[in-house]
Structure 1
Amino acid sequence: MAESTIEQAIFLGIDTGGTYTDAVLWSEQRGVIAKAKALTTRHDLSVGISGAVERIVTEASVRPADIRLVSMSTTLATNALVEGHGGRIALVMVGFSKADLEKADLGTALGSDPVVFIPGGHDVYGRAQPFDPAALIEALPRLQQDVTGFAVCAYFAVRNPEHEIAIRDLVRKETRLPVTCSHELSAKLNGPRRALTTVLNARLIAMIDRLVAATEGFLDRRGIHAPLMVVRGDGALVSAAFARHRPIETILSGPAASLVGARHMTGLDNAIVSDIGGTTTDVAVLDKGRPRLDPNGATVGGFRTMVEAVAMRTFGLGGDSEVSLDDNAMAPSIKLGPRRLVPLSLLATNHGAAVIDHLARQVKAANAGRLDGRFALLTGVPAQMASGLSKGEAELYERVTVEPRPLDRLLNSVSQAATINRLVARGLVHLSGFTPSDACHVLGLQNNWNAEAARYGAVLYARRKDGAGRPLCDTPEEVSHRTFDALIRRSSEVVLETVFAEDGLEGPETVASSLVQQALSGKSGIAGVRLDIDRPVIGLGASAPVYYPAVGDMLGTECIVPVDTDVANALGAVVGQVRVSVEAHISQPVEGLFRVMAGEVVRDFQIEEESIAFAESVLKQQAGLLALEAGTDEAQITIARDISAATVEDQRKFIEAVLIATASGRPRIAH
């Protein structure tokens, strides 16, 4: 397509966050044409998407046929991992032992989900061990009723994936459920961490599937027939079909898009980018115009994955964070997150007078109740996601409805508080309560939802007792100010944690030190302590104008909040490029034999140069096909070689070689 036509083409960017879905229309020639927000509707994501898109298409008077590309970023996968949500899956470990569950936090991530161990796997040179899937075949009829998908990890599958492929084909044939194989996600060694990454991927498939299906369904109904792309965690674009099979790669999709958007909006090469959403705050350092990739893999929700993503630190802190008290102190401090609650002000906006009536009833009560200001409602996920519930969980789940119910009327015993928390962790139930967003409504800093519900929530929270049995605060304004200040302070701390970690220090420990805390408090004695950061902070997110000027003041640095900060992610989604990579490994099982292992291809050569030439030709073909699948027709392919050799008695000895092919190009757009 001619360059001028590309410049005139209109692109639609969508960002589906935990609270809001953003949409933006953009072209190379005109920049941002229109932008809008709508509430994310988790029970049916297409409702929120259509709400935002319809608004900007109408505002800009754009014909559906004028839109040549649709690209989306999402924080749904990141939020799910931070909050511990996701489907129940079965892990199949081939050639591993139970002791391997203790490594890489695999057992913690797996929780109560079933695991099957079977003999098999390969050695470092790709040679097969005896393989026997009998235990899995016996378990499949039971597992099929109990899980939403399977994760498969075989010993040294990155050298030879034939046993993973055999298991994948068997499980798909017998159950028709989604199957994720570890070799599809990473070429790196470390089986337990590959298994962890595969488990998380399998859990997310249903969620990303629903997002893509909802988006495609809406676009089709609206007559927008353009390719659909998704932002990956490293900022690259991939096709929606590609993302459906590898949803784990979309963790940090929203933050990666925000970095691309921040760079595009400000033109700054060096900055700290902090993106505050409803559920999380994501902080990264922009250096020489590019976000740094984390060489060890992205860490989200406390788990270190093998997903290549921006070196982003994700914190369970946002406008919708749960407000709780440090109960161990006589004068308890306010803590925020990591769990997201539906703000009371938003709940009342969506569900009307019933919410206000219950809050008013609780305020009129003579004594404060421990469940005051808390509601539960169904998230609306498909019924299959509720598989594997215990008797107590199933009974309580039956009593939760799509309309919010106050916890003081829903729960019959103290033990049911733990039960409802387990249903929340499974992504089946939402909890609603007092949040920083509600505090901002009380203080007049926000006015988009129901301020009456927010005020009632603040009154109920202020009545909570401190260690001496006194009310926490005297007025709703006081508790709201304390909540607002707690978010400013914690936002400043997460920026500093990231900065210190980038400088090679232990981020959390350094921030917790008395000197840093003294500097943040602005207190000084004979010796004063001052913080100095060498670059500005870019505050992103719809609530950034509310919070980030104060964060900049606390950190003593310039804070820039761009004009289009509220749609930074959606904008970042449409200005990126497709980029994929594949890897080949050449080893020497015996002297004079060079074994090429590239995905499912394993071939032996007697001459080193021939093995390298073959590996490069295979990689070019694989990278080209992968780039087509990822959504570009004009990929440029580069190959990087890393050949290890040693000199022994003046003789060169080949050890191993790693070759990586990277394909990149503009996304395919509709003609």
Structure 2
Amino acid sequence: MKLKLGIDTGGSYTDAVLVDCDTGEVVSKAKARTTKENLTIGIEEAIDKLGINNTAGIVLVCLSTTLATNAIVEGKGAKVGLITIDEPKEYNYPVSCKSNIKGKIDVKGCEVFPLNVSEAAAALETMKDEIDTLVISGYASVRNPAYELKTKELSNGILGVPVICAHELTNVLGYYERTITAVLNAKLIPVIKELILATKEVLSVKGIKATLVIIKGDGNCMAGSFAEERPIETVLSGPAASALGGILLSGKQDLIVADMGGTTLDIVPIRNGNIPLDECGATVGGWRTRVKAMHTRSFGLGGDSYMRMNNLGAIDFGPQRVVPLCAAAEKYKNLIWEIESLHLPEDYHIIGRQEADCVALFKRHNIDRKVLTAEENQIIELLTDGAHSMLYLAGQLSKDVDGIDIARLLQMEIIYLISATPTDLLHATGEYVQYDRKISQLAMERLAARKKMAVDEFEAYAENAFTDRICVSLIESLLIEKGITEEKLSEELIRTVFSDDDERCRLIDFDCRFHAPIVGIGAPAKTWLTKAGRKLKCEVIVPQNSEVANAIGTVSGNIRETLEALIRFDCHTKKYIAHLPNRRVTFDSLDEAIGFVERELILYGKAFADKMGVKKYSSDLSKEQIVSEGYCNSESNFVELRLKMAISANAKYICH
């Protein structure tokens, strides 16, 4: 029997499945906690639970992940430096440091002002020892990348860190989105590299020699080596796999896939069995990218979302993911005692933290005591014997709990946060119990006291609030699908219109009608999406094997890639300009330009296939010409010609 091994590494759980290549049936399935401090542990545990008897029968290993998406949502990743060239205005980017330098290339690819090399070198010098990766983005680099490449050459001699040029990731105009794409790609390099290395290590130990491929955000797959260079392609990898899994498991062609994991709720409306693609670029964590990925909406709502009371006395969930108290207490039994025994004075009003907040050491290899403050080093010392509550740390440090600054330690992933979550809420009520309930019940008592409610009243309030957030997210996603822009949407308006809890005005009610079922995917889906379905009065399907649907979806991906080039006519020089992925070339005739571009695209296609490890693939060259009456090239009315080379291959043809 030939088998495919599917692995999905999420923020909370790692799922694994064995699927029969011929029948598509699930042979075995397993779940394990994602061990973010050492990913190999969780991956190995999940594979061990599959009970594989014959590793030689595994012909392909397919991997999907939400780690990239989660890292963006939570603002994590590498420290990135950014050099912009001729930036039109000041933009906001998720970078550690940034410099804009002079040098102008217009949208035709012509050099208007020379690159200021000395300014570029000086900017690079200021970034020494401050960044992990550098991004270079020029205003019109997709038309001529010369200035980006020159700055990259300078950086290699000054910084010696990995460099990403924005033109390497997309050839679409749209400076800001292209720059964001490059920055996020740089931030994600260590995240995806760690995952791939961990997966390869486990496969090697288990004697599994099959080729490893990774699902991209558009539902197709790529070789692991390619993903290490372009990790941004794995953004929405997990939701894409869950969409594929949702279609396969539900047997529906029209459906709304709602994938609820530990960190995010990802919603994908599907019609006619086709995964919708956002050709303009996916939006993740509020950042608009140029990554062609599945059209989905990601919300920071999951089983492990941080559950807390805000300064206004209302309950908040996410987007930050924390380790549930009930899960942490399985390892650190002392946390139960600390949450139960340690109290704040009655006249002390906690603001920034929660009374149930706890912390533990995470990635010890990230500790560099030279760059940490004295207090940060004290905290690390206190955590060497295991996890502790923030109230315990406050007592040991003789400080107010709100005065302890753990933000940098969390950002550097030296520690992780443990606190109340929707999973704890379900443990407290008894609706779902996997771990010891006691610490979850204690946490709900503390939160209820802050809200001045009885515990059972608070639990009902919190459950209703979380369900409301899910309902609002579903409605928002479908309104955007109908064409309503984000700017016109208001969570408060949606909540007011569709909530039946408001007694202030009973003169009018609104009902929304769903024309397709919600297909719930993920471990928390059965509980929370069923509750949301009752509120929305819509059909909810939670199919068999839904808890590992992502891993099932990974095994159905194939390789598809489109390479593009553009030929434009320059009215001033009377030349034809070919804009290729890595250069700009001029020609006297259109036929000469077309012939050159076609040959180059064939070579690019072969190089791409070689890089992906594909020896057998199909290619299709298409042309799209734009003409205009009265255009300056009066003989042909030619404006531009876009040539596309589509490469496709079955994943089974990927070689080591």
TM-score (norm 2): 0.91
The aligned counterpart of 2:129 is 145
Give yes or no for contact 2:605–2:647 (8 Å, CA) kept in 1: yes
Q: Is 2:601 the partner of 1:619?
A: yes
Q: Is 2:578 the partner of 1:585?
A: no
The aligned counterpart of 2:189 is 205
Q: Aligned AA for 1:17?
A: G
The aligned counterpart of 1:542 is 523
Instruction: Evaluate the alpha carbon distance shift between residue 93 and residue 504 of structure 1 in structure 2; reply closer, same or farther with a 3 A threshold.
Output: same
Distance 1:452 1:516 in 2: 33
Could you tell me which of 21, 28, 36 is aligned with 2:14?
21
Per-residue deviation, 1:602: 2.6
Output aligned runs, 1:404-419, within 5 Å: 404-411=387-394, 413=399, 419=405
The aligned counterpart of 1:36 is 30
Q: Aligned AA for 1:378?
A: L
Give yes or no for contact 1:498–1:507 (8 Å, CA) kept in 2: no
The aligned counterpart of 1:491 is 470
Distance 1:368 1:483 in 2: 24
Q: Aligned AA for 2:188?
A: L
Give yes or no for contact 1:147–1:387 (8 Å, CA) kept in 2: no
Q: Is 2:212 the partner of 1:223?
A: no
Which digits, 9 at most, give the CA deviation of each residue in 1:506-551, with x for residues without a partner?
Answer: 4686564668635442779454432101111111111111112222
The aligned counterpart of 2:438 is 452
Distance 1:510 1:177 in 2: 42
Per-residue deviation, 1:305: 1.1
Output aligned runs, 1:271-420, within 5 Å: 271-328=255-312, 332-349=313-330, 351-362=331-342, 370=350, 371-380=354-363, 382-383=365-366, 391=373, 395=377, 398-399=380-381, 401=383, 403-411=386-394, 413=399, 419-420=405-406
Per-residue deviation, 1:135: 3.8
Q: Is 2:74 the partner of 1:91?
A: no
Distance 1:94 1:321 in 2: 39
- Tell me the secondary structure at the aligned position of residue 79 of structure 1: helix
Instruction: Evaluate the alpha carbon distance shift between residue 506 and residue 599 of structure 1 in structure 2; reply closer, same or farther with a 3 A threshold.
Output: closer
Farther-moved stretch of structure 1 (212-221 vs 512-521): 512-521
- Tell me the secondary structure at the aligned position of residue 44 of structure 2: helix
Instruction: Evaluate the alpha carbon distance shift between residue 54 and residue 170 of structure 1 in structure 2; reply closer, same or farther with a 3 A threshold.
Output: farther
The aligned counterpart of 1:437 is 423
Distance 2:97 2:489 in 1: 39
The aligned counterpart of 1:5 is none
Q: Is 2:260 the partner of 1:237?
A: no
Q: Is 2:467 the partner of 1:474?
A: no
Instruction: Evaluate the alpha carbon distance shift between residue 173 and residue 512 of structure 1 in structure 2; reply closer, same or farther with a 3 A threshold.
Output: closer
- Tell me the secondary structure at the aligned position of residue 277 of structure 2: coil
Output aligned runs, 1:112-151, within 5 Å: 113-120=96-103, 122-128=105-111, 129-138=113-122, 140=124, 143-151=127-135
Q: Is 2:602 the partner of 1:609?
A: no
Per-residue deviation, 1:367: 7.4
Q: Aligned AA for 1:449?
A: Y
Give yes or no for contact 2:145–2:583 (8 Å, CA) kept in 1: no
Q: Aligned AA for 1:283?
A: I
Distance 1:140 1:83 in 2: 28
Distance 2:360 2:37 in 1: 11
TM-score (norm 1): 0.89
Per-residue deviation, 1:617: 2.5
The aligned counterpart of 1:554 is 535
Instruction: Evaluate the alpha carbon distance shift between residue 563 and residue 637 of structure 1 in structure 2; reply closer, same or farther with a 3 A threshold.
Output: same
The aligned counterpart of 1:4 is none
Distance 2:118 2:345 in 1: 62
Q: Aligned AA for 1:545?
A: K
Per-residue deviation, 1:121: 5.1
Per-residue deviation, 1:588: 2.0
Q: Is 2:20 the partner of 1:68?
A: no
Instruction: Evaluate the alpha carbon distance shift between residue 393 and residue 504 of structure 1 in structure 2; reply closer, same or farther with a 3 A threshold.
Output: farther
Give yes or no for contact 2:168–2:582 (8 Å, CA) kept in 1: no
Distance 1:203 1:334 in 2: 31
Could you tell me which of 627, 639, 646 is aligned with 2:628?
646
Per-residue deviation, 1:458: 1.3
Instruction: Evaluate the alpha carbon distance shift between residue 642 and residue 415 of structure 1 in structure 2; reply closer, same or farther with a 3 A threshold.
Output: farther
Farther-moved stretch of structure 1 (306-315 vs 367-376): 367-376
The aligned counterpart of 2:149 is 165
The aligned counterpart of 1:45 is 39
- Tell me the secondary structure at the aligned position of residue 27 of structure 2: strand
Distance 1:515 1:191 in 2: 33
Give yes or no for contact 2:615–2:655 (8 Å, CA) kept in 1: no
Instruction: Evaluate the alpha carbon distance shift between residue 501 and residue 364 of structure 1 in structure 2; reply closer, same or farther with a 3 A threshold.
Output: closer
- Structure 1 stretches of 5 or more lacking a match? 1-7
Farther-moved stretch of structure 1 (232-241 vs 637-646): 637-646
Number of residue pairs matched by the alignment: 641
Distance 1:396 1:638 in 2: 62
Give yes or no for contact 1:439–1:481 (8 Å, CA) kept in 2: no
Instruction: Evaluate the alpha carbon distance shift between residue 414 and residue 635 of structure 1 in structure 2; reply closer, same or farther with a 3 A threshold.
Output: farther
Q: Aligned AA for 2:127?
A: L
Give yes or no for contact 2:480–2:486 (8 Å, CA) kept in 1: yes
Farther-moved stretch of structure 1 (187-196 vs 133-142): 133-142
The aligned counterpart of 2:514 is 533
Distance 2:341 2:329 in 1: 15
Distance 2:80 2:508 in 1: 56
Output aligned runs, 1:558-577, within 5 Å: 558-577=539-558
Per-residue deviation, 1:195: 1.6
Could you tell me which of 150, 153, 170 is aligned with 1:186?
170
Per-residue deviation, 1:669: 5.2
Per-residue deviation, 1:69: 1.0
Which digits, 9 at most, give the CA deviation of each residue in 1:72-112, with x for residues without a partner?
Answer: 1111111111111112111122333xx6332xx43xx23xx
Per-residue deviation, 1:170: 3.8
Give yes or no for contact 1:101–1:192 (8 Å, CA) kept in 2: no
- Tell me the secondary structure at the aligned position of residue 410 of structure 2: helix
Give yes or no for contact 1:276–1:319 (8 Å, CA) kept in 2: yes
- Tell me the secondary structure at the aligned position of residue 460 of structure 2: helix
- The Cα RMSD (Å) is 2.7
The aligned counterpart of 2:480 is 501
Which digits, 9 at most, give the CA deviation of each residue in 1:102-136, with x for residues without a partner?
Answer: 2xx43xx23xx111333335322323342343344
Could you tell me which of 629, 632, 644 is aligned with 1:660?
644
Distance 2:71 2:370 in 1: 19
- Structure 2 stretches of 5 or more lacking a match? none
Per-residue deviation, 1:256: 0.9
- Tell me the secondary structure at the aligned position of residue 210 of structure 1: helix
Instruction: Evaluate the alpha carbon distance shift between residue 519 and residue 124 of structure 1 in structure 2; reply closer, same or farther with a 3 A threshold.
Output: closer
